[in-house]
Amino acid sequence: MRNEKLVGPYVLVAIDTEEQMSVSYDIGGGASVGRILPTVFSVGWDDRYIGAKQHPEADRAITNFYFLEIAKDSKYGHQFKAVAGPLTEKAFLAAKAKLNLPDFRQTIRSLE
């Protein structure tokens, strides 16, 4: 349904339904490995970080925040070494200020 390049090998992908939207690492051959799991509805990125807002299991009553440090990840890397989260908005904003995380620049309104 959606496979959109973000930065480097990272894609915003949903295979069957929008509610499956995740930030994934494209390993080639049409395959990818999830890094920030569904339901991702907003992302921001630069050459160092990817930030995401996520509703766990499409539960719009809950919003989690994540960021992925690209330098700590690899094709078959262990996602939990590179990904921080779930975070509260307050914790995410503190990390954003400290690490200069990118602003959110793409929001999928139908999932928000």
Classify 52 as helix, strand or coil.
Answer: strand
DSSP 70: G
Task: Give the percent of the chain with pLDDT over 70.
Answer: 100
pTM above 0.85, yes or no: yes
Is-contact 36 44, C-beta < 8 A?
no
Unique residue bearing structure tokens 């995740």: 22
- Rounded to an integer, the average pLDDT of 73-99 is 92
pLDDT band at 77 (very low <50, low <70, confident <90, very high): confident
Beta-bridge partner residues of 69: 49
Q: How confident is the model at residue 105 (pLDDT cuts 50, 70, 90)?
A: very high
